[in-house]
């Protein structure tokens, strides 16, 4: 999508601090970290939100889930971590390209705010 900031990051048109990249997904550091480690994992394909995940995205979404532990290990999150998706208005989603926040290196609290 031409006016999507994460599509532009995926295309290399906007710089990011990359942690992991392959042909399907990209992981980069969040600009405004909420934990000592805070990265975003995105599919390169534009999917607006969890509400927009289609049956054809089954393999891609599953692929992301299998990569989380590898990225967490790479970042040294050996004592656990939190994976977050914000969806829509109530979920406080600000960027309308699906992404998973991977946060770690501090004790999280529950429930989230």
Q: Quick one: how far is CA 53 from the chain centroid?
A: 14
**Residue 94 interacting with ligand AMP (CB under 6 A):** yes
Q: How far apart are CA 71 and CA 81, in angstroms?
A: 11
- 55: partner contacted, choices ligand AMP, Zn ion, none (Cβ within 5-8 A by kind): none
Among 7, 20, 30, 67, binds ligand AMP (CB under 6 A): 30
Among 16, 26, 81, 100, binds ligand AMP (CB under 6 A): 16
Nearest to 33 by CA among 82, 73, 97, 89: 82
Are 37 and 104 spatial neighbours (Cβ–Cβ below 8 Å)? Answer: yes
- 77: partner contacted, choices ligand AMP, Zn ion, none (Cβ within 5-8 A by kind): none
Nearest to 95 by CA among 21, 37, 42: 42
CB of 86 vs ligand AMP, minimal distance in Å = 3
Q: How far apart are CA 11 and CA 37, in angstroms?
A: 24
State yes or no: is 99 an active-site residue: yes
CB of 105 vs ligand AMP, minimal distance in Å = 16
* Contact footprint for Zn ion (CB under 5 A): 1, 4, 6-7, 46, 97
Q: Which two tokens stand for residue 44?
A: 């390169």
**Catalytic, out of 38, 97, 99, 101:** 99
- Tell me the catalytic residues: 99
């Amino acid at each position: 999508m031409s006016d999507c900031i994460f599509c532009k990051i995926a295309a290399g048109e906007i710089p990011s601090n990359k942690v992991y990249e392959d042909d399907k997904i990209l992981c980069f550091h969040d600009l405004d970290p909420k934990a000592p480690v805070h990265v975003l994992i995105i599919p390169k394909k534009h999917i607006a939100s969890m509400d927009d995940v289609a049956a054809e995205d089954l393999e891609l979404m599953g692929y992301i889930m299998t990569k989380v532990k590898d990225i967490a290990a790479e970042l040294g999150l050996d004592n656990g971590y939190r994976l977050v998706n914000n969806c829509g208005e109530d979920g406080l989603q600000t960027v309308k390209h699906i992404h998973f926040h991977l946060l770690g290196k501090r004790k999280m609290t529950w429930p989230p705010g």
